[in-house]
Each structure stands twice: as structure tokens, then as C-alpha cells.
Amino acid sequence: MTSVQAVMRGAWGLSSSLRQWCRSLAWLPLLLLIPVAPLLGAQPDPDEACLTAPLQEDTDAFRFKPSPGHDALQVQIPPGVKIRSIRYRRYSVFDLQDPKEDGLVYRWANDFHSETREWVLRDQLLLAEGDVYEPRRAEESERILRNLKFIYDARVRPWRWCGDFVDVEVITRDIWTFTPALSLSRSGGENAYSVGFRDANFLGTGKQVLVAYDSDEERAGYTFVYADPAVMGSRWQVRARYTDNDDGYDHGLRIEKPFFSIYEPWSVGTSLDQQKLEQKIWYRGDEVSEFDHEQEQYNLYGGVASQLEVDKRVNRWLFGYFLENNAFEFSDSDIPPAELPEDRDYSYPWIGYQSVEDEFAQLHNFNYLGRTEDIFVGERYEWALGYSTEGLGATRDQIAFRGSYRNTLLAEDRQLWVVSSWLNGYWTLDDAELENFWWQAESRYQLKQSQRWALYSGLRVDYTDGLTDDNQLTLGGHNGLRGYDLHYQVGDRSVVWNLEQRYYSDWHPFRLIRVGFAAFVDVGRAWFANQDNGSNGGVLANAGLGLRLNSSRAEKSSVVHVDVAFPFMRDDDVDGMQVLLTVKERF
């Protein structure tokens, strides 16, 4: 083979190899398409592999009706999945999708109301995007939101589960929080007027603002209140109160990082309260003496908590320093006391312990009408001890103590039985005597006879020892015996039993107020152990009927009580009928 032939054959072989290599490169464009296939729609939609609860209709979500789809999804989610996103469904005061609420006045109210902003809700949650989803944290987040003064009800629940991720939704409904005050009256030749406003959710920011000026025949003055439940989106809270009247004042400031939840590892705070008022002493429902009482309180406190235990219990060590000054002077009253109470000061460091069992039940028609209630059904106890000494500025050397206990003895679908007790006071070391000791024990039982009928029984016992002259234990009026004047009986101990047949109606006038009724019997007595308590000082009893009004759009923790009571044991100073109008925190 000649050299020329060899060169030509080599060139041909190289050409064949090159052509083969080029043919192989023809597949390269197809290979390059693989990474971009998802962008071109070649990959299936990942949501097709997700479990999604059907979207609840707005009207059902507005009324917080149960959603079987969400409940079924919740039980399927395994531990360890992470929260991919949190969406918010916020509702205003009225449901405009409901024909009964799609009116001009309701539309105007919604337009005027500032809906709670999304970041306000987010600041209160115990969940965040990227966290591991924990149902217990979702449940407690619900309770925290419902406990806000401007939220009617809340739900925190998963709505989609995709493998290692879950999507959560937060549903809330606002209540009306803006209350203007403008009144003018004239009676007995005297003018009285009030002007101002109050808003517990100022411009939807969750801040509480109150500004008012009041003037009547007794006093005139300004009041300002500001409260922030999440300072700059943190767990810190602040509340400031300033009242200045021409006959006294009431100032207060509290800054704290509380035990926001059962998962909070520590707490710290401080408070300052200063007030001057005209103190009143009562007997048989009448004022028998009046004097000025000026008081200052300073409190610095904190605590550290253990991790939540297996039995759903968290334990906390508490500590702090407390200072209180009390000074008394004669006022310009026509009924001054024969002798003023002794000025007294307390100053002491203290240490305490708290144990809380994390157990709640969701009930309806219990303390309120027609709304979800988070009722504590666990055990909780707390105690604290301090040493108040002259070396720290106190009036005398004393041991300060306080304690409380609460437990649920029975919690079923139809029955709830709760017992509680608390005490506080001082033990004076020099003369081994108690000062301002007060102990109270209470039992409350409720039997749900049906969805709307319930039988309630409450028993309360109070015992005191060494009360100073500015403190009294009284019984009568809205604190136990509704057929008698307020502060009718006095003593160093008392017992009262209240029995009520309650009816939680479905009457909802103008979609604004829910209405309930009660028939009641009260039996009780306040007395001194070794002292005559005057005429009509024995056991007293009354019966009566009551009307309960609970707004469904505002002031959710305020229940208006209108009671008509008829006393059984009467004297010359006891009317045949008592009509009471009071605002309480429960039915």
C-alpha cells in the first residue's frame, strides 16, 4: 500500500468517526429539553397529588359552622410536616351575603368599620411558615385570637396537605369596637355631659384607645387609655391609663412580656398604679362614713417555665418585688369617720410557683349566648411568699402570702362542675396576727338539660380576719343577694347560694343582640362571729326573674343583666322589689 493510499484511508476513517460523533450530537437538543420540561408543561401539576379540603362557603365560614372536609383532612396529616403557607380569611362585622344582613345600615357599618389587619392576626399566632405543623399550637392560636377583645371567633386549620408540606388558613370575624360618647342632661338644676370615644381595635391595628371628658354635679375630669397587645409585632404588651378628676386621680402603666402561651419559656414585667379616691364605708345599704384614700403600688415581676410535660402540664417559678403605700385623710364629706384608718406601707421581695394543666373545652351557651367559648377544664394552682420588713420601708415586719387553686371535677357534654379557691393577706410577726386576710371558696355547677335550657348552681364562701378600717366584706345587690340593696349586710364571713334556671333563646333582634332569660333564687348571709349584726342580720333569701342581653357584634365579654328580685325577709329599710341593671362578664 502506497503512502498516499494510507493517508486517504486514514482520512476516510477519521471522517466516518466524525460523522458518527455528529450523529450522536443530534440527540443533544432533546437532552437539553429535559430540565425545562416543567416550564413547558411536560410535568404533571404537583397539586394533583395533594389532599385539599373543599373551600367553605363565606356564609358558613362567617358563622363558623363545622366543616367535615377540614376535620377529615386534619386527622390524616402525619407528624413532622412543615407549614408551606398561611392564608387569611377575614370577615367584617356583618355578613352581606346573608339577605337578612344585606341592608343599608349593615353595609354602612361594614364600610365604617376598619377590618383587623392581617399582620395583627399574624403577630398573635404560635405558627409561622417554615415551622413544623403542630395541632396543639393551632388550637392554642385559636384561643389566643378568640380572647382578643376585637375578634368574635376564630379558626386555625389546615386546608391542603402535599407530602411533607401543609397549607394553613386563619379565619376570623370582627366585632364592632368603635363607641362614640356624647351626652347632655340636666337634673335638679345641674348640668351633666360627656364627650369622647373608645375603640378596642383602632383603625384595625389591635390597639385600644379611649379618650373622654365627663362632668356632673360631683366631679369633672379627663380619661385616657392606650393598650397595645403586641408592641411592634413582639410578645411585649403595654397598657397606660390616665384619669384626672377635680377630686382625685387614677394613673396606671403596665409593660410586660407575659406567659403568652404554654410554650413561652419566660416572662417579665413591671406595673405602676397611683390613685386617690373617696373611700366609702357601708351598713344596710347606706354610706355611713367617707374619707380620702391615696394609694401607690409598684410591682416588678418575672418567671421561668419548664417545657410542656407529657401530661399537658407546665410549671413556672415566679419572682418579683412589690411596694405599696396607703395614706388616709379626712375629706369634705358630711359623714366623716370617727377615726381614720392607720397609714400603712408594704415593701417586699417575693417568690412563687405556678402549675397549669393545658386542658380546654369548646362550649356554646354557657357564659355567653351563641358564640364559641374556650372553657378551662384542667387543674391550676399557684402560691407566692414574701417578707415585708421595716428595713425596706414597710410599716412593720410581716410575711406576705397569696395562693389560688382551681380544678374541674366534672366536664362532660351536658355537665360542668368547677371548684376554685384563693386567699391572700399578711402575717404580722410582732403580735402574731393576721392583717387583711381574705379567703374565698366557690363551686359552680351547670347541667345542660337541652340545647337551650340549663340549670345552674353556685355556692360561695368568704372568710376574713384582721381587715383594716378601709376594707369591708359585704353582701347584697349584684354580688349575691339581688333582692336587697348593695352592701346590705356586713361581716367578717359570708355564704351565698344562687340557683338559676336558664334559657338561652335563639332570638336575635336586628342581628345585633342575643337574648336569654333566668329564674333565680338567692339565699345567703354575712355576719360577725361574736358580734350583733343588727336587725335583719340573719339568713336572707329572695327570688326573681332576669333578662340577659349579649351583643353579637360588640363587647363580647359584657353581658347586660336586668333582674327583678323580691325579698322574702323584709325590714323597714327593705323595699318589696329590687330592680337591678348591671353589666357582668358572664351569664
Coil, helix or strand for 232? helix
Q: What values do phi and psi take at 101, rounded to 5?
A: -115, 5
pTM comes to: 0.85
**Which CA distances in Å does 107 have to 62, 99, 115, 510?**
16, 12, 13, 14
- Do 66 and 208 fall into the same domain? no
For residue 108, name the pLDDT band (cuts at 50, 70, 90). very high
Alpha-carbon distance values, 431 to 390, 397, 400, 428, 434 (Å): 15, 10, 15, 6, 9
Question: Is 9 part of any domain?
Answer: no
In this structure, the answer to whether residues 198 and 60 fall within a common structural domain is no
Q: Of 209, 230, 257, at which residue does a domain stop?
A: 257
CATH number of the domain at 109, please: 3.10.20.310
Domain count, the chain: 3
Give residue-wise pLDDT tens across range 317-369.
Answer: 999 999 999 999 999 889 999 999 999 999 999 999 999 999 998 888 888 88
Query: Taking 70 as the threshold, does the pLDDT of residue 390 lie above it?
Result: yes
Asked whether residue 506 carries a pLDDT value surpassing 60, the answer given is: yes
Q: What is the pLDDT of residues 138-195, one digit of tens each?
A: 999 999 999 999 999 999 999 999 999 999 999 999 999 998 877 676 554 556 778 9
pLDDT value for 17: 42
Within a domain: residue 271? yes
478 in any annotated domain: yes
Domain span holding position 170: 51-174
Higher pLDDT, 250 or 189: 250
266 and 415 share a domain? yes
One domain for residues 396 and 441: yes
Co-location of 275 and 253 in the same domain: no
238 and 381 co-located in one domain: no
| Residue closest to 456 by CA, chosen among 469, 466, 447, 443 | 447
Position 556, amino acid: K
Q: What is the CATH number of the domain that holds 273?
A: 2.40.160
Cell numbers found for residue 272: 405602676
28 inside domain? no
Is 14 domain-assigned? no
Instruction: Please write the tens of the pLDDT for every residue from 12-40.
Output: 343 444 344 334 433 333 333 333 333 33
* Residue 36 covered by a domain: no
Residue 180 and residue 170 share a domain: no
411, HSE (Cβ side, Cα atoms, 13 Å): 16
Residues 340 and 438 occupy one common structural domain: yes
Residue 407, domain member (yes or no): yes
Whether residue 51 contacts residue 73, with contact meaning beta carbons closer than 8 Å, is answered with yes
Examine residue 504 and state whether it is found in any structural domain, yes or no. Answer: yes
C-alpha cell at 40: 413547558
Tell me how far apart the alpha carbons of residues 565 and 543 are, in angstroms, rounded to a whole number: 6
Pairing mode of beta strands 190-199, 208-215: antiparallel
Same structural domain, 182 and 293: no
Mean pLDDT of 367-389: 93
CB-based contacts of 537: which residues, under 8 Å, 6+ apart? 489, 525, 527
The rounded mean pLDDT for the chain is 88
From 211, 237, 257, give the residue that closes a domain. 257
**pLDDT of 418 higher than 80:** yes
Last residue of a domain, one of 174, 200, 217: 174
Average pLDDT over residues 77-91: 96
Please provide residue 60's backbone torsions phi and psi, each rounded to the nearest 5 degrees: -65, -40
List the single range of 116-130, 176-190, 204-218, 537-551 with lowest mean pLDDT.
176-190
Task: Please give the average per-residue pLDDT across 426-431, as a whole number.
Answer: 94
Give percent of the chain with pLDDT exceeding 70. Answer: 90
Task: Check residue 4 and give its pLDDT.
Answer: 37
Same-domain status, 270 and 399: yes
For 507, the 3-state DSSP assignment is coil
Local structure of 569: helix, strand or coil: coil
What does the pLDDT look like over 465-491, one tens digit per residue? Answer: 999 999 999 999 888 899 999 899 999
315 and 420 housed in the same domain: yes
- Based on the fold, state whether residues 448 and 499 are members of the same structural domain: yes
